Amino acid sequence: MLSVSEARERILSHFQATATETVSLIASSDRVLGLDISAAHDLPLFDNSSMDGFAILAEDTSASSLTLNVVADIPAGAAPNVTLTSGQAARIMTGAQMPQGANAVIPVEDTDFNERVAGTAAPKTVSFQRKVNAGENVRPRGTDLHAGDIVLHKGRVLKPQDLGLLAMLGVATVQVFKKPRVALLSSGSELIAVDQPLEAGKIHDSNSYMIATLIESAGAEVVRLGVAKDDRESVTALFEKAAAEKVDLIVSSAGVSVGAFDYVKEVIEAQGKMDFWKVNMRPGKPLAFGEYRGVPFIGLPGNPVSAFAGFEVFVRDVLYKLGGRSDGSRLKIKVRCAEEIESDGRESYLRASLHEQDGIQFASLTGHQGSGNLLSLVQADALLIIPAGVKCVPAGQEVEALLI
Ligand code: AMP
Ligand code: MG
């Protein structure tokens, strides 16, 4: 039996990042940056005022009363065309470029002209009585970053604030990794579409909904191919469709156990190759990995919770790697078991809810851990990882938890 980490390494070594493409800035949200971004210019780009007020020479000021001649009016967006000298001031708005010669701004509220109604003309003179320090209320050029600084790294999933920064730097189009494309199919003659009435012995196909959205949550596009019946023709037809879609990966659920009606292995081997592994893991021991007509294939178990765990442990990181993402997979944190937990010695992923007490996260199992019991997965905040070889974790002991 393979260990979880051996199986992961074997799978991951087959994949590399997709090519990149260029998209508009607004379309780059949540996409993975395809190259390092360095700043084309300083930010702020010019010395500017952080207040509505008057640009002045700090050297003119003292604790006693001072009146200055207002020689210019500088709204935001204007290019100031004056050079202030001693005794002069310019009305200036927040974000407007500082005039030459000025090195500080006195806010309007500290002057005799506390007037901000739109359309009010600048006064001829302005008076105040306080010392102003050089640099006060001025945002100097380059305080945030300098031209040439690397501000975002390749492999980062772009967030809203990243788009804001890119816009500040005049980046209108962004090179991102192409989204990996994944064909998804379910297999099993018992499976009925969710909008069809159930019949004796049948169940709704739930895996395709869960796995499709898991694939999307990992930044990939999913091509849903539906359900193959448990016969050679039906399974072959769906794998042929998958290959024709020129996807980066085929993911299937079920049909890879050793049941008398499990045709997936046979169909794959007719046009490719397949390793069928037993991974020392619970849930989700059976895992298939191979290729069909040159397209990599991962076969997840059919039981819904096993399929979920198999996705999180094996498929998510494949999709991150294909998609060029540099961040790790789901967050793992340390939690304390609220109760004694038994395990069977396999590396186990147990459904647990978390609750905080005195700043410590405690984990309790969410009911029975059968691999078909999806409700206990729905109720879980995390999968507790009980390492291989451990059969009992006493209450209060720390374990790792994969946040879901
Ligand atoms: P198998 O791997 O085909 O032996 O399936 C294992 C278990 O998972 C059986 O109980 C199946 O009915 C169930 N199962 C298989 N595929 C799905 C699916 N798409 N949705 C829900 N349950 C499934
Ligand atoms: Mg089956």
The pLDDT tens digits of the residues spanning 281-323 come to: 999 878 899 999 999 999 999 999 999 999 999 999 999 999 9
Fold assignment, 4-16+179-322: Molybdenum Cofactor Biosythetic Enzyme; Chain A (3.40.980)
Round the average pLDDT of the chain to a whole number and report it: 95
Q: Tell me the best of 184, 192, 207, 257 to mutate to test the pocket of ligand 1, counting ligand atoms within 8 Å of each CB and taking the most.
A: 207
pLDDT band at 328 (very low <50, low <70, confident <90, very high): confident
Percentage of residues of the chain with pLDDT beyond 90: 91
pLDDT band at 139 (very low <50, low <70, confident <90, very high): very high
Tell me how far apart the alpha carbons of residues 183 and 296 are, in angstroms, rounded to a whole number.
11
Domains 20-43+143-177 and 48-139 share a fold: no
If you average pLDDT over residues 172-186, what whole number do you get? Answer: 98
Centre of ligand 2 from the C-alpha of residue 212, in Å: 19
pLDDT band at 148 (very low <50, low <70, confident <90, very high): very high
Centre of ligand 1 from the C-alpha of residue 303, in Å: 5
Percentage of residues of the chain with pLDDT beyond 70: 99
Least confident window among 65-74, 182-191, 276-285: 276-285
Centre of ligand 2 from the C-alpha of residue 18, in Å: 33
Tell me how far apart the alpha carbons of residues 225 and 240 are, in angstroms, rounded to a whole number.
10
Centre of ligand 2 from the C-alpha of residue 291, in Å: 20
- Report the pLDDT value the prediction gives residue 116, as an integer from 0 to 100: 80
Tell me how far apart the alpha carbons of residues 285 and 306 are, in angstroms, rounded to a whole number.
8
Tell me how far apart the alpha carbons of residues 35 and 404 are, in angstroms, rounded to a whole number.
29
Peptide bond into 296 cis (omega under 30): no
- Report the pLDDT value the prediction gives residue 349, as an integer from 0 to 100: 97
Least confident window among 2-6, 230-234, 276-280: 276-280
Q: Tell me the best of 191, 251, 276, 373 to mutate to test the pocket of ligand 1, counting ligand atoms within 8 Å of each CB and taking the most.
A: 191
Whether 346 shows a pLDDT value over 80: the answer reads yes
pLDDT band at 80 (very low <50, low <70, confident <90, very high): very high
Q: What DSSP string runs through 23-61? A: EEGGGGTTPBB-S-EE-SS-BSSS-EESSSEEEE-GGG-
Tell me how far apart the alpha carbons of residues 310 and 301 are, in angstroms, rounded to a whole number.
7
- Report the pLDDT value the prediction gives residue 326, as an integer from 0 to 100: 87
Of residues 261 and 177, more confidence is placed in 177
- Report the pLDDT value the prediction gives residue 289, as an integer from 0 to 100: 94
Unique residue bearing structure tokens 């001649």: 69
- Report the pLDDT value the prediction gives residue 285, as an integer from 0 to 100: 79
Atom 23 in ligand 1: which residue has the minimum CA distance? Answer: 302
Tell me how far apart the alpha carbons of residues 107 and 74 are, in angstroms, rounded to a whole number.
14
Tell me how far apart the alpha carbons of residues 15 and 249 are, in angstroms, rounded to a whole number.
10
If you average pLDDT over residues 330-350, what whole number do you get? Answer: 95
Burial status of residue 216 (CB atoms within 10 A of its CB: 0-12, 13-18, 19 or more): middle
Whether 379 shows a pLDDT value over 90: the answer reads yes
Nearest to 103 by CA among 56, 48, 38, 66: 56
Q: Which atom of ligand 1 is nearest to the CA of 301?
A: 2
Q: Quick check: pTM over 0.75? A: yes
Atom 10 in ligand 1: which residue has the minimum CA distance? Answer: 303
Q: Which ligand is nearest to the CA of 252?
A: 1
Centre of ligand 2 from the C-alpha of residue 257, in Å: 8
Centre of ligand 1 from the C-alpha of residue 306, in Å: 10
Q: 20-43+143-177 has which CATH code?
A: 3.90.105.10
Q: Which ligand is nearest to the CA of 256?
A: 1
Residues with CB under 6 A from ligand 1: 186, 188, 190-191, 203, 205-208, 253-255, 257, 259, 301-304, 372
Whether 96 shows a pLDDT value over 80: the answer reads yes
Return the domain boundaries, the chain: 4-16+179-322, 20-43+143-177, 48-139, 332-403
Nearest to 380 by CA among 348, 356, 349: 349
> What are the Cα distances from residue 233, in Å, to 225, 258, 264?
15, 18, 11
If you average pLDDT over residues 66-72, what whole number do you get? Answer: 98
Centre of ligand 1 from the C-alpha of residue 308, in Å: 12
CATH match for 48-139 among 2.70.170.10, 3.20.20.190, 2.170.190.11, 3.40.50.2030? 2.170.190.11
Residues found in the chain: 404
- Report the pLDDT value the prediction gives residue 403, as an integer from 0 to 100: 97
If you average pLDDT over residues 210-235, what whole number do you get? Answer: 96
Tell me how far apart the alpha carbons of residues 127 and 67 are, in angstroms, rounded to a whole number.
4
Residue 57 near residue 146 (C-beta atoms within 8 A): no
Least confident window among 52-66, 155-169, 257-271: 257-271
DSSP 8-state symbol, 17: P
Class of the CATH-defined domain 332-403 = mainly beta
